[in-house]
Structures are given as structure tokens and as C-alpha cells.
Copies of this chain bind each other. A is one copy, B any other.
Amino acid sequence: MEELWKISENSFNPKQINHYETVFSQGNGYLGTRGSFEEYFPNQQRATFVHGVYDDIPVVFTQLVNFPDWTDLEIILDGETFDLNTGEILGFHRELDLRNGLLTRSLRWCSPKGKISRLDFKRFTSMADVHIACLLVRVTPENYSGELICRSSLDGAVDSLHFKQWDWVDQGVEEDACWLKLRTHATNIEIGMAQKVSLPDNPNHKQEAWNIREKPSLSLTAALQAQESVQLEKYVTLYTSRDGEDPLNAAREGLSQISTRPWADLWRDHQSVWETLWERNDVIIEGDDKAQLSVRFNIYHLLIAAPRHDDQVNIGAKTLSGYGYHGHIFWDTEIFMLPFFTFTQPEIAKKLLSYRYYNLPGAREKSAKNGYLGAQFPWESAGDGREVTPTWVTNQHDRTSLTRIWTGDIEIHISSDIAYAIWLYWQATGDDAFMYDEGAEIILDTALFWSSRLVWHPKSSRYQISDVIGPDEYHEHVDNNAFTNYFVRWHLRKAAAVAQWLTQEHPQKANQLFKQLNLTQQTVTNWTSQANQIYCPIDLSTGLIEQFDGYFDKNDILASEFDPRTESIQSLLGNEGVNATQILKQPDIVMLMYLLPEEFNQEVKRANYDYYTPRTDLTYGSSLGHSIQTVMDTRFGNESQAYKNFMRTALMDIEDLRGNTRDGIHGASAGGLWQAVVFGFGGLHFNQDTWWIEPKLPSHWKRLSFKFVWHGELIEIDINPEEHPQ
């Protein structure tokens, strides 16, 4: 059913342009381009980002840089500029084909002077050659003949949320092409872009290249005959100095290799990569079209964001589809997005983990600066692995007051989240080579950080961790956050296991690594003993785990008591108000039990699930929460709640449930959705040795089918409840 692959916009509402710009984003794992119109329209947030290309800005330190817009096109129809802000729209349809990332727009427009034209746009960013982007426009005058002018610029004066980050370096024009070289102002990353534009069916058209500084342009003029179509094709190439020494030359070379009429060829190559991708990654749901379409939509956004050719970049919290969080990278990658890649395309998961390996110097710098050993990963990172969490943000209501952001200082569980993702990857792939080359070093050096971060508390004879933030960010500066403490225990034990594995299997490497990290076998033994003495609270009579010291003394109130509402409980009560309650921003203990199921027995899990779930702000707290909650809901038999949380995740961006899709796709939500389907409804479980499934499909689903890779073997799961009743 073709419509289960297409996201459509059937009429044009100017108020929704920023939402659809995000939804209709295109990309190829190298670049991402928002779904803005080709022509100018007020209040657009046109943007193209490239993984790893950051530049310095005030307050938030660094952000992804907006590239010159490859889609830019000005169309002048018999003297009138095509502009949806003028004239009349007689018909409008936009559509993103998730199967192949093709974005099309078809419309009929009546100009202010009454000239009616039909315009059909198509564009894609090549998955086969990630440095190529292609655009095609067919213009059909209905009730007039006249002159068509198409103008296409490489705009080097583009801004990134009002900040101009490019310095001009060089540019030039040729008869039918032009090119531009720019450099980021602070980080000195150079880029080269080249474009050509043609009207292949109109050999008599006039072509001019305008060499305006910072904005080289091509201008094509052709005759329009009523009822006859003219087709324009545009090809852009784009390289950066991260790809090689001479990005401008690469872009010009790349452009020259595109033949005269290349659309069909480029499209074929591109589409065939997409076919392969979906062959592996599609999840088939029957009996629930909305779920089917939205799951594909979220997988599409993971696929276009995933760096397939670069192991020194990562996926920001908002992918490459918007300015939200400035392209910074969080635990969203390891905990929410990575399982999808680990289980479907381990080669991409490995690249994402390698990003952390290359960022070890930054993590070591952070740890040392804080007075600890080993490596402490930043809560937010970008181009070079240093901590880039903004320290202060301005208060919207009082511009003279600033709010201190503490996550970069004390939301420290990320170092274990990364170790966990490596462990999961190792478990699912058996990729000893990665563990040997990179994984072990990360796990051991972060364990070293923890061993120095733990504080011995003589009174209670245990190790404690004070002053942290757990996943539930409604409570800051807490002591002994159970999520963190249990995770550190797990981490130190796994680090000891990795050290043992390395020593046994690769003694020479173990030797070298121990020397490099300044470790001894005694250190490792100490880790185990420290792990055994970390304070991991549990009430043996009830099975309840207190989220942090004093949590149970907080005002006990349920999230439902605030319903109905349209904002978070934090925004209703204020930061201090919500802090005084037991309300969570997102699952914390429940998340812990999801991630480390073997650490707890079923009764403990049930007790904590029952206690914490109604105290969690699932509707307007963190957007990360629903997906994991879905999995846990399925495991505890709450089918209707599971489905509700699942759909909140699935429709987050398509229906703009949080009102901020304009800032970019919720990458963690997209990754969490796959986990909700596969680990939740699909019931995929695994341990050290094997995997098994215990499906828990929503009752109206007729089929769920997905594929995953286990130790190199591709496994296809096809659940048909009528054949195998639950």
C-alpha cells in the first residue's frame, strides 16, 4: 500500500511552514536539509547541516552551521516572481516518499496579474553519493505565453539562527556553473560547493552566470508557451575539509562528473541504496495504518541522520533537521537511538561508538579538570568531544537574570550510558575486534573515572555519589540517585569483566592498555570491591527503590491530579515547586530496570513500576519517556497504556505533539519508537548468550514483522497473532 509510505500536506498553511520544514527534511547521513520551499517565503527556517561542521557562538558555545542552501531557486514567470505570499494558490500538494526520500511539491498558482502556472518540484539528496543533491522543476503556463527566468545562487551570506558563521574565501563562475568556497569563522572548516543548472529540453535558452561576491548565481531565461512544460534541473555538489584537503576542487570535480542529463542515473543509484536500506530496516505492521506510517516515518529520520561514512561524528538530539539543541549530542544516542542501529546495522552503531572513542581526549580533560582520574564524558558534545552544555541560559521573562544549567556539571550518568551501549553492541554483535580496538579502552577509562568519583562514607561503610542529576531532571543536586549508583555498580563489574577478557584473550593488548591507562590488576580488583560496596538502596519489605536520598519525603502527588493540562508539571509548578514533589520528568528507576533487567527480580520490578509510573509526567515531561514506558507497560500487561505511550512517541513529530517539531526531529523519540515496537510489542529479549521473543501485540494489530542481526546473522521475525495467539 503506497500511501503507508507517504507523508502528505494537502493544503498550504503559512503558520505550519516551520513544522513541515522539519517533517519533510531530507538527508543521506552526511547532510540534512529542511523541507523549505525552493523559493523565498517569509519566516522560513531554511537550513542544510553537515555532520561535524560546527562553529563557535555565544552562550551555547558551538552549533551546527547552516550551509548555503542547495535548494534555492527564484522563478520569474513572465515578469512576475513566483511567490506563494502573493497571488492565489489554486492547488497545493506536498509529499515525502519515505521509501526513497523524494520530496515533491505540485501546485497551481495564479499570479497577481492573473497568469496561471502549474509547478512541479522534485528533489533528493543522494544516498549513493552523499555529496550530490538534485532538484527538478517543471513549469507549465496554463493561460499565457511569456518568458521564464530561473535564478539559482550559492548564498555564502546565509546565517545560522541570525548568526553569520562563514568567512568568504573564494568563488567563481563558468558558463553554466558556479562555485563557492567558505570557511567557518572560529573552527576553520572549509567547504566547497558547486552548482549547475540547465533546461535540457530548451537548447535555445539564454544562460548567464553572475559573479556577485558571496553569492555567485546562475540565471537562465527561456520562452514559455502556453500549455507547454519547461523542465529545469539543478545539481549541487558539496564537500568540506573534513572530507579531504581541497573541498572546492572536490566539489568542482564532482560537478564536472555529472553528465548533461543525469537525473535518471543519479536517481537510480540513489533509489537502489534506499531499497537496500528498507529491505533491512522496514517494520511491517498490519491492522494499524497510522502506526505503520508513523513507524516508517521515524525510521526514515533515523536512516537519513545516521552517518554511514564517518566515524568521528554523531547524531544530535534533533538529528540534522533543525536548530534545536544546536546539533549537540546527548545520551539520546547511546540509550535511545543506538539499539536500532546495533540490531539492524551494526556497522553504523560501531561508527557512532567510535565517535566516543575519538572523543576520549575531551572526556579525559573534563575528568582531570574536575579532579578525577580516567575519562568523564560530556553531557553535551559536538565537534571535538569537549563539554558544550551551556552553563547559563537567559530567562525569557527577565533578560537581566540567568538560569544556571547544571546538567553539564552533574548529570554524570552519561559515562555509564556509553559503556552500556558498547556492552550491548558487543553482546548483540560479538564484535571482539571493536572491543579490542576501542570499546575496552572506553569502558576501562570511564570505570577509572567512577572509581575516583565514588566517595567512601565511613559512617555507613559504603561508597556514595552525591550531587548528581539522574534521568529525572525535575530533581537536581540529589545524592545517591539510584539510577546512577546501580549503573556505576554494573559498570565497574563489567569493566572488571572486560579487563579479565582482555587479559585472557589478548594479554599483550591488555598489557599495553593497562600501561597506557595507568591501571594494574589491583585497580581492577578494587573496582569489584568498590562495586560491592556502592550504596544501592532497596526496601527489602516492599521492594521499592528510593530514587534518591529523601525522595520519599517529598510531597506525594500523582501526575493525574494535574490533568487535564497542556504543559509540563514543571511549568505549572515552577522549578522549585516540582522539585518539592515526587513527580518525575521521565522514567528513572523504571528506566534502570529496563536497561539492566538482570539486576532485579520480577517482584522488585513490578513494585517499582507500579509506584513510579503514576508519578511520571509522561504527557508533557521529557519527550524521551514514552517509548521506554511503552516497553515496560507491555511487560506489566498494561496494553492500553502501552499503546497510548507508543502513539505519543509515534506521532510526536508528525502531529507536533510537543509544539516544538519546528526545532527538529526528536531523534531519541524516533529511536525509542523502534525499541517500543521491537522490544515492547515484538517482545524481543536477549541476554549474554541468546535472544528470544515474547510478543505482546496491541489487540488490533494483525501482523508485526521486523528484522534484526544477531552475531552477524540476519533474523526475520514475523508475528501473526491469529496464527500464534498470545
Contact = CB atoms under 8 A, between A and B. Distances in A.
Interface string A386-419: 0000011010000111100000100000000000
Nearest to A390: B400
Given A157-B214, A165-B162, A399 B61 contact: yes
A214 B153 CA distance: 11
Nearest to A158: B157
Interface in A364-405: 391-392, 394, 399-402
A217 B213 CA distance: 10
Nearest to A394: B58
B153 A164 contact: no
B185 A153 contact: no
A157 B215 contact: yes
Contacts of A159: 157, 159, 164
Contact of A74 (B42, B157, B158, B213): B213
Residue picked from A158, A391, A401, most chain B C-beta under 10 Å: A391
A392 B219 CA distance: 48
A155 interface: yes
A58 B59 CA distance: 8
Contacts of A573: none
Contacts of A408: 400
B402 A153 contact: no
A328 interface: no
A271 B402 CA distance: 51
B213 A210 contact: no
A329 to B, nearest CB: 18
A163 interface: yes
A116 to B, nearest CB: 24
A402 B402 contact: yes
Contacts of A61: 399
A153 B213 contact: yes
Interface in A135-174: 151, 153, 155, 157-159, 162-165, 167-168
Contacts of A164: 157, 159, 162-164
A40 interface: yes
A42 B400 CA distance: 36
B153 A155 contact: no
Contacts of A399: 61, 391
Contacts of A400: 391, 408
A497 interface: no
A364 B550 CA distance: 47
A212 interface: yes
Contacts of A42: 167
B153 A40 contact: no
Contacts of A211: 151
Contacts of A58: 58-59, 394
A161 B210 CA distance: 27
Given A58-B59, A213-B153, A402 B394 contact: no
Contacts of A401: 391
Nearest to A399: B61
Contacts of A392: 392, 402
Contacts of A165: 162
Contacts of A219: 210
A400 B155 CA distance: 34
A512 to B, nearest CB: 35
Contact of A215 (B167, B185, B215, B402): B215
Residue picked from A61, A157, A392, A394, most chain B C-beta under 10 Å: A157
A69 to B, nearest CB: 11
Contact of A217 (B40, B162, B212): B212
Interface in A323-355: none
A212 B152 CA distance: 9
A573 B332 CA distance: 46
A695 to B, nearest CB: 49
A222 to B, nearest CB: 17
A157 B168 CA distance: 13
Interface in A40-87: 40, 42, 58-59, 61, 74
A39 B578 CA distance: 58
A423 B302 CA distance: 70
Nearest to A149: B211
A61 B402 CA distance: 13
Nearest to A60: B58
A613 B400 CA distance: 36
Contacts of A157: 155, 157-159, 164, 214-215
A68 B42 CA distance: 20
Contacts of A394: 58
A296 to B, nearest CB: 36
Contacts of A213: 40, 74, 151, 153
Nearest to A185: B162
Interface in A200-216: 210-215
B217 A210 contact: yes
Contacts of A168: 40
Nearest to A61: B399
A217 B208 CA distance: 14
Contact of A212 (B163, B167, B185, B212): B212
A523 to B, nearest CB: 31
A193 B214 CA distance: 20
B391 A212 contact: no
Q: Which 3 A-B pairs have the closest CB atoms?
A: A157-B157, A159-B164, A391-B400
Given A58-B58, A157-B214, A391-B400, 11 more contacts: A40-B168, A74-B213, A153-B212, A153-B213, A162-B185, A163-B163, A210-B212, A210-B217, A210-B219, A391-B399, A402-B402
29 contacts: A58-B394, A61-B399, A151-B211, A151-B212, A151-B213, A153-B212, A153-B213, A155-B157, A155-B214, A157-B158, A157-B164, A157-B215, A159-B159, A162-B164, A162-B165, A162-B185, A163-B164, A210-B210, A210-B212, A210-B217, A212-B212, A212-B215, A212-B217, A214-B215, A215-B215, A391-B401, A392-B392, A400-B408, A402-B402
Interface of A: 40, 42, 58-59, 61, 74, 151, 153, 155, 157-159, 162-165, 167-168, 185, 210-215, 217, 219, 391-392, 394, 399-402, 408
